[in-house]
Structure 1
Amino acid sequence: MAMEQNYIDSEYESKLEFQSMWDDLKNKNLEEKHFLRLQLENIVEDLWKRFQDALKNYADATEDRKIAFETLKVKDEKSSKEIEAQMKKIQKLQEAISISKGKILLQSRESEDQNQYIRNDKELVLVQLRKLKAQRTRAREIAQENLMKLTLESNATLKALRKIVDKGEKILKLAEICRKFETEEEKVLPFYSSVLTPEEQEEIEEQNQEELTEELVEVGAGHWAAAATAGRACALPVPVTPSPQVMADYVGMENFWKRYNKVKLEKLSLLQRRTRLLEINGKLREMLKQYLDGISVSDEVLSQLNPLFIVNHQSNLPPVAPGPQPPSREPAAAYNVIEAAHVIAHTL
């Protein structure tokens, strides 16, 4: 019991000591806490003042920025609204673009088909163009050939016309020259009258009519054969009788043919007379040569026949049969006027 009492007393003393120590510590802690609180309040007040000063300085320094921020904020709100509206527009545009893409795809397919058709048409047109170019080139070559032929033919025609003109001028000059040599009778009566009887004239006209008809038939048959050979068959029959108009066109040439026949007959007469004169000239030259050979002596003369070379009263010439003596002078030439048609009718 005593131990328990001692233990209880010691425990009580310990509790009292602990309580006193706890109170001391509590008071000390309260004092320290109060001191720290005061110290912290001073520090906080100092910091608050600093914070207020810093806040004031910051507010003063950022007043312009704040105003700008507010302005930018308002602008941002407006821009956000505009962006939202633009986004809606963009969405609508995207939908329209998607619809347009679908239409473009559809139209591209249709246009591809149309382009294919157009390409085919283009190829056909190019082929036709090449053909037309070839035809144009061929036509140009043919035109150049025709132009060349036309130029050559025109040059030949001009030359032929020039020859005809020269020939006409020559004929006119010859006519002027012949006019000087015409006799008085030819100047008064340039065209002689026919010396044929009416019966002979009718016979010659009938014969000329038959010959002209035969010639026209031959000429017509020749033209018909040439046209058939060239592939150009004539639609009209070949005339077998001369047209009266064709015969009438040559009536005006009658006087010309009279003069022409007269000239031809005179030319034949002059040719015959020239032939006779040449024969007489040859005989005279032969006689002159024999005479000259007779009066000269040489080896060549002695080797040939010589009438003056006489041995034993005989000449080395062969005996000549006596013939008629030629007249001492030429008779006057007599000209008979005979138409060439009459001569041809009796000789052919």
Structure 2
Amino acid sequence: MYIHYHNCIFPQQTALPGGLDTLLPADGNQLKAIEPSYDGVPPGLLRRMGKAVRMGTGTALPLLKDLRPDGIIIGTANGGMEDCIRFLNQIIDYDEGMLTPGNFVQSTPNAIAGQLGLMTRNQCYNITHVHRGLSFEQALLDAAMLSMEHPHRNYLVGAVDEIADYNYNIDLLGGWYKKHPQQNKDLYEANSPGSIAGEGAVMLVVNGQPEEAVARLRAIRSWHGTNPDDARTNIEAFLQQYTDGNIPLLITGENGDNRLLPYYETCEKLLPGSAVGRFKHMSGEYPTAAGIALWLTCRLFEGEALPHHFYKKGKENTAGPVLIYNTYKGEQHSLILLSKK
């Protein structure tokens, strides 16, 4: 499968050249997305949208100006959660009386894909994958299988998640976020449990045609498990099956949680000659954050230098494949292999 166009909204500046060089700080252990003006979204619709729907549509519409995709495939774990909680609270506040329909309509994970279908009058394949930390990876697999069957068709693939107070508080109580103030510039030196919360949206236009493609998705693998030895076995098998051992750049989902370091260190040790990059000090931690790593890889393949704070070791090299390894809460793991062609 080949990636032709991409767009992103996340907590760092993407509109200006070199905008990623300046690392914007977290606020209260949260990295909130920088939202644009959403010029392509009618104001009447915009004010009724929840944040996840705004980010999803705002990221996708610039890619759909001159393109009608044959499918809209979105991966999200918590999209629409904020509106869902608002609607449930209204049931209590209004004693099951006259409720606001907007919050109800926008309260389900498929609201993003549905809104895009309605706004672009697209009646083609429309689906949302909700698999927690593997939602985006399952959306990629869906698109890859469709591209194999119909190489000439275009598909919009996305990853969207927001910081909802409800989910943030549950994960904070569960120990997945730092309990003390943490600056994202020092995230990897914290040596403590938990990370910082993030959010964002990534959209890709993909098909099975290599002409003028930005990147090629060569392989993807996902698995469940909490044992670092299982991670080693899966990574070794993946490398043996899909690569010749030459991986110039490894991008990991290291997020400052010292409980997850064994997984990432295992992967790094299996690729001792690779440069290593990290991105969650820019995006924060959220279920579909792997989409940010893929988007950064596309920018790298287009010749844009990634910021110095992205690299943990080594120097950038765009000549060979890039491997992305991410784990969500040490339970869900994924490997994504990309190359320029």
TM interval, short-chain normalised: under 0.3
Structure with the higher strand share, 1 or 2:
2
Ranked by relative contact order (alpha carbons within 8 Å, sequence separation 6 or more), the top structure is: 2
Structure with the higher helix share, 1 or 2:
1
**For the pair shown, which has the larger CA radius of gyration, 1 or 2?**
1
* TM-score normalised over the length of structure 1: 0.16
